[in-house]
Amino acid sequence: MDITKDIQPMTEFRNHSAAFMRHLRETGRPVILTVNGKAAAVVQDAEAYQRLLDLAAEASAAEGIRQGLEDMAAGRTRPAREVLDEIRAEHNIPR
């Protein structure tokens, strides 16, 4: 992060949005916009935002797998047939 370029007042962004968009595309770095000297928003290009969403989804999936493995190791599981039979009985679903 380059604080001289990546942290800017909101008014500067409003007055020079085309230049900011060019900067976002060229650097791939987000810009932190401030109001009265305090961080108020983060602006980034759509591609960088999609990468961030993808990373978050991967981390979430990895955490789910980790928890599942932990449950297996601790014996907190049930056979799938048992669970499916329970669901069928609860909702009157024939086999």
Contact at 8 Å (CB) between 48 and 60?
Answer: no
Q: What angle do CA 93, 94, 95 make, to 5 degrees?
A: 120
Q: What angle do CA 87, 89, 95 make, to 5 degrees?
A: 90
Token couple for 10: 């909101």
pLDDT tens digits along 2-59 = 666 789 999 999 999 999 999 898 988 999 999 999 999 999 999 989 999 999 999 9
Domains of the chain, start order: 3-44 (3.40.1620), 48-90 (no CATH)
pTM over 0.85, yes/no: no
Task: Give the least confident one: 20-29, 60-69, 79-88.
Answer: 20-29
Helices marked H in 1-90 — which ranges? 3-6, 10-15, 17-27, 46-73, 80-90
Token couple for 45: 């290009």
